[in-house]
Amino acid sequence: MSALDTASAPVGRSDPGIGRPLARFSGFWKWLGVLPFFLFCALFLLAPIVTLTDGAFRAADGGYTLDNILALSSPNIVASYSLSIRLSLVSAALGTVTGLLLAYAIILGGLPAWVRPVFLTFSGVASNFAGVPLAFAFIATLGRLGLVTIVLREVFGFNLYATGFNLFSFWGLALTYLYFQMPLMLLVITPAMDGIRREWREAAESLGATRRQYWTMVALPLITPSVLGCFLLLFANAFGTLATVYALTGSNYSVVPIVLFQQIRGNVLYNPNLGYALALGMVAIMVVSNVLYMILRMRAERWHK
């Protein structure tokens, strides 16, 4: 790069017009590596948002209308948003807490060295295990006739379903989500956990702090921004989940993606423009949670540049 610049400098001095294209060319090369990213963003992030924003404000005949947006306030759609948000919040919270504890145990718990790679590898697989196979796996284990349910009943005399547990319920769904949420949390929080230095704990303990005081006063504040970020990621992950819910509960649990799915694929409820509006609502929720996250993060990280 600098060789190019030097070579072009004398020419540039006598005639500024000649050196320029070369410089611009080298400037272009600098950006070449990230070009696919921008292309990708434009094609699969910006373009869809533009399309669905436009579609959300159009009627079936192509004219502009506010009907779709107004339809979002109809009771069953409000209910589906509410269900989606609650389910995502609960499963993200469960995933965050359990994943955090798991990460603590694996990274700072003094377990043998081989434990960590085993868990991380397994988590890499499990965090991507969703949809129909996951739903089937849970039905086969914790369904009414699932293996675990039967073993509990026959061997231990414990009737799981008599306790009010139902795999095809809100909490059953949350539990199923946990299967990929917890490993995902483990994967994304591991770097932050690795960043916690042993000296901090030792400094705190030598100053009289208990393990608990060290965690509440030093370690947790330090990883809070990362934990918030991971929580948001888990929230988004759950919010977009369609196949797992559908396979598990059919359309009994109308989370937003299912309602949306019905609008664009269904026969009875076919209304793609309402589907656009629903998707726009999801985008809005993601934007709000991201902004919230950034504000929280800035406040939590005021000790950083």
Partner 1 sequence: MSFLKLSAVSKAFGANVVVKSFDLSVRKGEFVSFLGPSGCGKTTVLRMVSGFERPTSGAIEIGGRDVTHLPANQRQIGMVFQSYALFPNMSVFGNVAFGLKIAGASKPEIASRVKEMLDLIQLGHLADRYPYQLSGGQQQRVALARALAARPQVLLLDEPLSALDAKIRVSLRDDIRAIQRELNITTIFVTHDQEEALTISDRVVVMNGGIAEQCDTPHEIYNRPTTRFVAGFVGKLNNIPAIVVDPDAGTVRVESDVVTLEPRAVAGRKAGDPIVLALRPEAVSMGTRSGDVVLEAKVQEVYFLGSVIRLKVAAAGVSLSLDIFNRADAPPPDVGSTTHVSFSSHAVIVLDS
Residue placing its CB nearer to partner 1 in the complex, 286 or 296? 296
Site map for partner 1, 212-251, x if CB under 8 A?
A: -x---xx--xx-----------------------------
d(CA 305, CA 303) in angstroms, rounded, equals 7
Residue placing its CB nearer to partner 1 in the complex, 76 or 206? 206
Task: Provide the 8-state DSSP code for 59.
Answer: -
Rule CB under 8 A: is residue 303 a binding residue for partner 1? yes
Q: Minimum distance from CB of 142 to partner 1 (Å)?
A: 41
Residue placing its CB nearer to partner 1 in the complex, 74 or 213? 213
Among 5, 54, 194, 205, binds partner 1 (CB under 8 A): 205
From residue 219, alpha-carbon distances to 199, 212, 259 in Å are 11, 10, 42
Window contacting partner 1 (CB under 8 A); options: 25-33, 51-59, 206-214, 285-293:
206-214
Residue placing its CB nearer to partner 1 in the complex, 30 or 302? 302
Q: Minimum distance from CB of 191 to partner 1 (Å)?
A: 16
Q: Minimum distance from CB of 297 to partner 1 (Å)?
A: 13
Calculate the CA 47 to chain-centre distance.
21
Site map for partner 1, 164-203, x if CB under 8 A?
A: ---------------------------------x-xx-xx
Token pair for 87: 């389910």
d(CA 22, CA 251) in angstroms, rounded, equals 60
d(CA 288, CA 270) in angstroms, rounded, equals 28
| Residues 262 and 269 sit within 8 Å (Cβ to Cβ) | yes
Beta strands in 131-286 (DSSP E): none
* Helix, coil or strand: residue 58: strand
For the chain, give the number of residues. 305
Q: Minimum distance from CB of 192 to partner 1 (Å)?
A: 13
Q: Minimum distance from CB of 166 to partner 1 (Å)?
A: 43
The type of residue at 280 is: L
d(CA 228, CA 225) in angstroms, rounded, equals 5
Q: Interface residues with partner 1 (CB under 8 A)?
A: 197, 199-200, 202-210, 213, 217-218, 221-222, 303-305
